Structure 1
Amino acid sequence: MASNPHLSPADLHILLAEPSAVQRKIIGNELFAAQIESINEADSVLSTLESAQKHSPDLIVSALHFADGSAIDLLQQLRASEATADIPFMLISSETRQEQLEHFKQAGVIAILPKPFKPDDLTTAIRATLDLLTQSELSLEYYEPDQLRVLIVDDSAMARKLIRRVLTGLGIQYFTEAEDGAQAIGQLQAETFDLVVTDYNMPEVNGLELTGFIRNSAQHAHLPILMVSSEANQAHLQNISRAGVNALADKPFEPDTIRQILTRILG
């Protein structure tokens, strides 16, 4: 779908991937109640991939388990194809184990909804999808968004891609990527940046250690840092806050949340 600042839920084309006919009907009714009118259905990993290739939906809403694989398999195959790599993905699952959901958070899904979910949860996820599909440039007093130099640090290539896509939608054009904190430190020593967006959990040097390096560097001490994290441990969150990050966003995050955060920390 082409970028359009006036999109509404009724403009979205949804692909609902769910093996159970009963669950497809329940979720379909909830989507219809959220003003989604165009819904295609699939009941397996294979049929979802085929439908996505053929119809290019604006959002895939997927269950976790299928007879021929899982949503992890589906997501990996979607991201591996140029034709489907950028399709927003929403997971609906009764799974509550964080280690199982971590794969999806790191893969840059637009939302993870519990089963059963509340209508407000679905509305929030639909709004995030609309934000991702529309272009609305940041309005900043001291910066031109298209001149901002951003360092994106995340060990997940898919997560980096989603962050970059969200920031591009805000009018930002200049990006450098690093796979972990150690690589980011090398980039910081070689280039100048206006903003660092970093993950928390990374090998070698994590986001907390990277933040410490930046805050203890005479050259970079005042560099704004946005940390994105799926970490729910309260002690870790407190450590992040004390380390000197300017803002913290949960994974998965909403594009409008990132807009508000950047308006604040770059203002």
Structure 2
Amino acid sequence: MELSELLLMVIEPSRMQRNIIVGHLRKMGIVAIEEFTEAAPALERMQGITPDIVISAMHLPDMTGSELVGQMRTKPELCDVTFFLISSETLYRYLEPIRQAGATVILPKPYDPERLNEALSSAVNYVAARQNDFEGTNEEFDDLWIMVVDDSSTSRKYLHRVLTSLGIHNIREAKDGAEALQILKSQRFDLIITDYNMPNIDGLELVEHIRHYSDQPSIPIVVVTSEQNDEPLHALKTAGVSAICEKPLSYVALRKLIRHLINEIE
């Protein structure tokens, strides 16, 4: 799949910002771009045609970007659509809901064109995987078992799809660390990908328990988190995580990380 094959919807109330974004997209060779200043007309349009990527600001006249992606995720035909947020917003209370709702990329405003290029290239692979057009499957991954731990069903679904596109089909899901530990009592895994902030048992407690009390202490563990404070991140490193990745994790970054960790196992 090429960038020129994508259908994008850009939702940005500022005409100047919208022109900058659309102009950049067109320079990249993207032709099919529909523009909106509010979320409601965009959602109505999505009932008739499913976009490949939605690019939105956070603060729209009729709702926030978090509410927009939240509504999209409730509709079967839109639940897997790639969602980019471009925003100058830095408050956790605004950004965390949109991460949990399934934003694929969050870019600061004014955005870095190079980062947008990378995000779009990653999105092409994800869209191709959604359409069963991805050729990156690898038979050597057929026997791998991976557990995905996250209290967000949307995040679990996204990670599940990426893993499947890599040719990894043996995947178990857990909604928090407590459920993950129960599963680990009866099954062995080659890799665990876990969220950090979860109810009952969080990512740090899960890592510590696996490293000190389970019969699989050396299993690679990747923690995906939106946490910015140095103290919890340091605690995760001290606990023995294999990698810490910022949430949301891009398609390409996750693919490279998994391949790297699997090669280390071998």
Matched, 1:106 2:100: yes
Provide the rounded CA distance (Å) in 2 between the counterparts of 1:114 and 1:131: 23
Change (3 A) 1:218 1:185: closer
Change (3 A) 1:35 1:255: same
Provide the rounded CA distance (Å) in 2 between the counterparts of 1:222 and 1:254: 26
Deviation per CA, 1:108-130: give whole Å up to 9, x if none. 31211112112112112111211
Matched, 1:92 2:86: yes
The answer to whether the 8 A contact 1:15-1:52 is kept is: no
Alignment match, 1:71: 65
> Among 39, 46, 54, which residue is 1:45 paired with?
39
> Among 230, 233, 240, which residue is 2:236 paired with?
240
Provide the rounded CA distance (Å) in 2 between the counterparts of 1:38 and 1:137: 26
Change (3 A) 1:136 1:244: farther
Question: Residue 144 of structure 1: SS of its match in structure 2?
Answer: helix
Deviation per CA, 1:213-267: give whole Å up to 9, x if none. 1112352112121111111112222211121111222111122211221122111
The answer to whether the 8 A contact 1:14-1:58 is kept is: yes
The answer to whether the 8 A contact 1:138-1:170 is kept is: yes
Alignment match, 1:61: 55
Alignment match, 1:180: 176
Runs of 4+ in structure 1 over 3 Å off: 136-139
Matched, 1:132 2:126: yes
The answer to whether the 8 A contact 2:69-2:102 is kept is: no
Provide the rounded CA distance (Å) in 2 between the counterparts of 1:112 and 1:168: 24
The answer to whether the 8 A contact 1:15-1:57 is kept is: yes
Structure 1 unaligned regions, length at least 5: 1-6
Question: Residue 185 of structure 2: SS of its match in structure 1?
Answer: helix
Residue-pair matches, total? 258
The answer to whether the 8 A contact 2:66-2:101 is kept is: no
Structure 2 unaligned regions, length at least 5: 129-133
Matches within 5 A, 1:121-160: 121-134=115-128, 135-137=134-136, 139=138, 144-160=140-156
Provide the rounded CA distance (Å) in 2 between the counterparts of 1:11 and 1:30: 16
Alignment match, 1:212: 208
> Among 247, 252, 255, which residue is 2:248 paired with?
252
Q: Which amino acid aligns with 2:24?
A: E
Alignment match, 1:200: 196
The answer to whether the 8 A contact 1:136-1:171 is kept is: no
Question: Residue 85 of structure 1: SS of its match in structure 2?
Answer: coil
Alignment match, 1:26: 20
Provide the rounded CA distance (Å) in 2 between the counterparts of 1:137 and 1:10: 20
Provide the rounded CA distance (Å) in 2 between the counterparts of 1:249 and 1:35: 30
**TM-score, length-normalised on structure 2?**
0.91
The answer to whether the 8 A contact 1:137-1:145 is kept is: no
Alignment match, 1:4: none
The answer to whether the 8 A contact 2:69-2:103 is kept is: no
The answer to whether the 8 A contact 1:108-1:251 is kept is: no
Provide the rounded CA distance (Å) in 2 between the counterparts of 1:80 and 1:124: 28
Give the C-alpha shift of residue 138 in structure 1. 5.5
The answer to whether the 8 A contact 1:180-1:206 is kept is: yes
Matched, 1:221 2:220: no
Provide the rounded CA distance (Å) in 1 between the counterparts of 2:115 and 2:28: 11
Alignment match, 2:131: none
Provide the rounded CA distance (Å) in 2 between the counterparts of 1:96 and 1:248: 21
Q: Which amino acid aligns with 1:76?
A: G
